[in-house]
Every structure is written in structure tokens, then in C-alpha cells.
Structure 1
Amino acid sequence: MFGLSYWFLPAFAGCCWLGTLLGLLINWVATGRPQYAWTGAGQTVPYISDIAASKWGYPLFIAGSATTVVVFNISFVAERWLRHNARLAKNYRTSEKILSGFAIAFAIIGGIALILLTVFDTRRHHNIHITCLFIFIAGYIISAVFICAEYQRLGVLYREHRILRSSFWLKLAFIFIELALAIAFGVLQRGRVGRALNPSAYVEWIISLIYIFYVWSFVIDFLPATQTRHREDRFGLPGPLRAREEEGEMRMQEQQGGNNLGGPVYTGGAWNERDSQGSQVPIHGQAGYRGTAGEQVPPSRNF
């Protein structure tokens, strides 16, 4: 893709988000750690949103968040396309494709919420901002749940590919950690003012930093695609499906080849079933019999 490998997408998205957070924090420290009018009285640790609502932080937060979201969501679409073309472990079951579709959908929802919370800053649209914040967190957590479900099913088929297992555990850890932190953030923020809000501000920064590592976890998902540029190197049928297909081919060959004496292969079934090849059909009903009903058949002279 434009001379770059696909793993560059999540790597770049994570770096954009990290750069945005560092830009906000460093600028806040460099300007003397100002206490904004829209923060709680006595609050010494600002929320990310507090710094982002400042005159210089507002455009930086919008630009950084929008770039991160767009590139990261392109990563989801690229992964689906690579699996479809067997550049990555291919989805052979409909359930896996459905799970992948839901993962993309909720990632888009979370991404849109992130962009909206940057536009509706906490200074002028506090309630909308908080709502978008929780949708952003929930969207990506739910998306990660669907990804884990998809990877679990892929891991059953592609047991030899450890990358799937590693990625599964990384994303599962993200789900539990972010979910616990989101609950803690809500509890610590509720009904508190001033310095009592400092713990929830710390939690918000931690949530945002862990999100970076979640984005970077997709780098390992794209690594196999660096080895499958050529068609002959791409993923084939996974072991269980390949064994099932080979077993089916062997049965077909046995039925077409007949038994060891060159005769037909008899299968089960009642005598009146059209597809039955059994010998239970009355002889006068079989093809090639020239006698008529009630006619006496002369004894064989071969013995």
C-alpha cells in the first residue's frame, strides 16, 4: 500500500494520539500550569478536556483526534480486506465475518464520538462532551469484545499461528482494564468538586494512554501480511477444514472406484428409495431384466 506495509496504519494512529496528549500536557506545563475558569476550584490536575478547551488546545485536540480516528478506522477496514484476500488468516465461517463487521461498526461509532467530544468542548458543551466521552470508551470496548470473539474462532482453526493467540490476550486485557478504569472514572467524578476531582483526572489520563497500546496491538495483527504479498504465499485452508475436505475427497473416490472386486458400492437405504443402490429392489424391477411378472425363470446352467 503506497510502498508501506499495512502495520504502519495502527502504528501511525497510535503515534498521532500519543503526540496529541504529549502536546497538550507539555504546553500546559510550559505555560505555567494555569488553572482554567471552567475547572473545579482547587483542582490542580486538569482533565484532558480542560486543556483541550483552551484557545491553543482546541485546534490541536481536534486535529490530533480526527487523524487518529480516521487512520485507525482505516486499519479495521484494511484488516477485513486482507483476511478476505487470504493475506491474513482468512475467515471461512459466516459467524467470523459477522463479528468482524460488528467490530468495525462499533469502532466507527467510538471514533465519531471522539471527534464530536473534541468539537463540543467541556467549557461550552459540558453535558454533550461527557456523553460523547462515554460513547467513545464504550464503542471501542464493545468493538474489542467482537474482535476477541472473532480471533477466538480463528484461533481454533489456525492453531499453528500464535500471533492470533497473542493478539487475543492483548485485546482481552484491554477490555478488562479499560472497563475497570471507566467505572472508576465515573465513581471518582460523581458528586465531587475541587481537589477531590484530581483522582478522576489521573484516571482519565491513564485511560487515554492505555488506548494507545490498544491501537498499537494491531501492529502484530498485520505482521503476517508482510510475508503474503505473492499469491503462492497466502493463507490456505486451515488444518481442520483441510482434513475435512481431504476426508470428503477420499469418500468420493471410494464411491466412484467401487469395491476391490470392481463391483458397485452399496449404501444403506430402504428398497423403495430412489437414491438407494442396495440390492433390496425386487429383481423384476431392476433395469436389464427382460422377464415379466409371473414368468418362470429357467435354472442357470453355469453350475
Structure 2
Amino acid sequence: MWIVSFWVFPVISACMWLAMLIAMISTWAVKGKPHYSNMPASRTIPYISDIGATGIQPLFIAGSAVTVVFLDLSFLAERWLRHSGQLVRNKGRFDKACSIISIIFSFLGAAGLILLSIFNDVDYRRVHDSMLGLFIGAYLISAIFICLEYLRLGVTYRRQHRVLFLSFWIKFLFIVIELGLAIGFGVLNQRNRGATNAAAVLEWVIALVFTFYVLSFIIDLLPSVRTRRHIPQGEKAMHIGRPSTSSGRHQHEVTYEEPVTTDSMGDRGNTYRGQVVNGHPTNGTYLPRDF
């Protein structure tokens, strides 16, 4: 059923990340917008890490860990679904290599976020800043390589699967926007030593933009989803049913699994429990009523 599928990984990741950010800024506001000891006197808006270094650091650590674990599961799910044919397969070594490299850098980015939440900016300032750079840099590089993969896939399947180009443009925009914001944040942070509100605002914006990047993986994983429908007997070559007797007639109520969308579905996307519709692969083309 579609409810239990790989698309829930990015949803859980994005929801956890957004909930953590809201909880952190809300805690700061509820406490009367205090000026933390690790904030310069001239800055009134805290960095995310400023709040995370206070009594809610366990929330910061747990939220960060859950976010990146499920995000990396999204990367792994995408790779496995393409390998198994539930999503359109990679066409060569280049796009497959891009996918693997993006996974490697996503793991590095995950390590960076978890470690920066553990090593707070009060007691471990240098380590914290280094891990922040690793987190942002690694996920940007990961996004670049997954963009290259989707560009290659989009060109290869430009007629059949337009969603690949859609995913590419979403991730490309993320790279451009996030890179610009990260450069601005770095310049302001270094020039003013974190003493201005502008750098803090940019950090919060960077974190929110990251949420939309995570959600973009729903588009990638959704074509592997199948839903359950009820149809009359004989309308499907492949079905599951139980016989029943009604008014002396022998009938069947049958169910089958149908894709939510065929766009970007792989050559094995028409299988159910190892069986192929009508005994033949459909190469990603799903024909619901004309086998």
C-alpha cells in the first residue's frame, strides 16, 4: 500500500527538521527573547547553535540526528529503487557514479550536523564551526552530484519522464540559493564576528531552505508507490481475489496494485510479488486496462 513506502523518509526528515527549528525559536521567544552569554552584545537574534547550546541541547542533538538519518535513507532508497528497476535505471557509469558520490557526501553532511549539535559553540567553538562548514559544504556537494545524475536521466528519458527534469531544477535552485546564502552568511560572520543580526537571519533562512530540499525527494520516490484498487473480475490479467457466492452466482472481488504515477517508474515497476503483468516487462509503461 502507498501509505507504507519510501516517500515517508523525506517527509519524516523534513517534518523533524522543521519541528526542531520551530521548537527552538519558540523556546527562545517564550523565555522573553533572552540574550545568551555566547551572543555578542550588539546581536539580538540568536544563531540556531546559540539556542542549541542552552538547556535544550538534547532536542538539538536528537532532532538533527533524526533529520539526517531519514534524509540519508532517502538517498539510499533512491539508489536501491533505480538499481532494482522500481525507478528508471541509470543509463551508464557516469550517472551511477554521481549517485554513489552524492550518497557518500550526504553521509559526511550528516556527520557534520550531528557533531555540530554535540560540540556546542560555547565549549567547542572551533570544532563547532568546522562541523558547520562540513554540514553545509558536504550537502551542497551531494546536491551537485545528484543534480548531475538527474540531468543525465532527464536528458535520457526527456520524453517519457518529465518529473526527472522537475526534480533536477528543484535541486539546482536549491544549490544556487543555498550557495548564495552560505557565502553571504560566511562573509557577514567573518567580517563582523557574528555581531550583527543579518548573519543570524541568513542562518535561519538557510535552515528553512534546506527543508524544501529534503521535501524534493518525495518527487523522486513517489513513482515507486502503488495503490490498491478494486476492479471487476477479468479486467486485469494479474489480480488477487477470493471467491464469494451471491444470489447463486460465482463472483470475485479482486484487488491489484497500481502505480500512483508512471512518470519515472522503472522497468520493474509493473511487478507485484515477483510477477510481471501479462508475463512481459512493460519498460516502465503502465497500461491499466489494455494488457
C-alpha spacing 1:2/1:67, structure 2 compared with 1 (3 Å): farther
Question: Could you tell me which residue of structure 1 aligns to residue 265 of structure 2?
Answer: none
Question: Could you tell me which residue of structure 1 aligns to residue 207 of structure 2?
Answer: 208
C-alpha spacing 1:126/1:100, structure 2 compared with 1 (3 Å): same
Q: How does 1:146-185 map to 2 (within 5 A)?
A: 146-159=145-158, 160-185=160-185
Q: In proportion to residue count, which structure has more strand?
A: 2
Question: Could you tell me which residue of structure 1 aligns to residue 7 of structure 2?
Answer: 7
Task: Give structure 2 stretches of 5+ with no counterpart.
Answer: 226-258, 260-268, 286-291
Question: Could you tell me which residue of structure 1 aligns to residue 23 of structure 2?
Answer: 23
- Residues 212-253 of structure 1: per-residue CA shift (max 9 Å, x gap): 000000001111101236254777289xxxxxxxxxxxxxxx
Instruction: Tell me if 1:53 matches 2:53.
Output: yes
Question: Could you tell me which residue of structure 1 aligns to residue 242 of structure 2?
Answer: none
Give the aligned residue type for 2:140: I
Could you tell me how far apart the structure 2 residues matched to 1:49 and 1:98 are?
A: 34
The CA deviation at 1:94 is 1.4
- Of 264, 267, 271, 1:230 maps to 271
The CA deviation at 1:2 is 10
Question: Could you tell me which residue of structure 1 aligns to residue 97 of structure 2?
Answer: 98
Secondary structure class of the residue paired with 2:191: coil
Larger C-alpha radius of gyration, 1 or 2?
A: 1
- Residues 118-159 of structure 1: per-residue CA shift (max 9 Å, x gap): 000001111111111111001011001100111111112211
Give the conservation status (yes or no) of the 8 Å contact 1:155–1:161.
Answer: yes
Question: Could you tell me which residue of structure 2 aligns to residue 144 of structure 1?
Answer: 143
Secondary structure class of the residue paired with 1:191: helix
The CA deviation at 1:3 is 5.8
Give the conservation status (yes or no) of the 8 Å contact 1:88–1:235.
Answer: no
Question: Could you tell me which residue of structure 2 aligns to residue 33 of structure 1?
Answer: 33
Could you tell me how far apart the structure 1 residues matched to 2:284 and 2:199 are?
A: 49
Calculate the TM-score normalised by the size of structure 2.
Answer: 0.77
Give the conservation status (yes or no) of the 8 Å contact 1:41–1:193.
Answer: no
Instruction: Tell me if 1:73 matches 2:114.
Output: no
Give the conservation status (yes or no) of the 8 Å contact 1:110–1:138.
Answer: yes
Could you tell me how far apart the structure 1 residues matched to 2:271 and 2:14 are?
A: 29
Q: In proportion to residue count, which structure has more helix?
A: 1
Identity of aligned residues (%): 46
Give the aligned residue type for 1:79: E
Calculate the TM-score normalised by the size of structure 1.
Answer: 0.74
Could you tell me how far apart the structure 1 residues matched to 2:191 and 2:77 are?
A: 43
- Residues 137-192 of structure 1: per-residue CA shift (max 9 Å, x gap): 01011001100111111112211211100000000000011111110001111131
C-alpha spacing 1:140/1:235, structure 2 compared with 1 (3 Å): farther
C-alpha spacing 1:9/1:124, structure 2 compared with 1 (3 Å): same
Could you tell me how far apart the structure 2 residues matched to 1:67 and 1:38 are?
A: 26
Secondary structure class of the residue paired with 2:108: helix
Which stretch has the larger CA shift, 203-212 or 150-159?
150-159
Could you tell me how far apart the structure 2 residues matched to 1:102 and 1:6 are?
A: 21
Runs of 4+ residues over 6 Å off in structure 1: none
Secondary structure class of the residue paired with 1:190: helix
Give the conservation status (yes or no) of the 8 Å contact 2:101–2:145.
Answer: yes
> RMSD of the alignment, in Å?
1.9
Could you tell me how far apart the structure 1 residues matched to 2:29 and 2:137 are?
A: 30
Could you tell me how far apart the structure 2 residues matched to 1:101 and 1:198 are?
A: 38
Could you tell me how far apart the structure 2 residues matched to 1:23 and 1:16 are?
A: 10
Instruction: Tell me if 1:197 matches 2:244.
Output: no
Give the conservation status (yes or no) of the 8 Å contact 1:87–1:235.
Answer: no
Give the aligned residue type for 2:116: L
C-alpha spacing 1:237/1:132, structure 2 compared with 1 (3 Å): same
C-alpha spacing 1:193/1:132, structure 2 compared with 1 (3 Å): closer
Task: Give structure 1 stretches of 5+ with no counterpart.
Answer: 239-303
Give the conservation status (yes or no) of the 8 Å contact 1:13–1:215.
Answer: yes
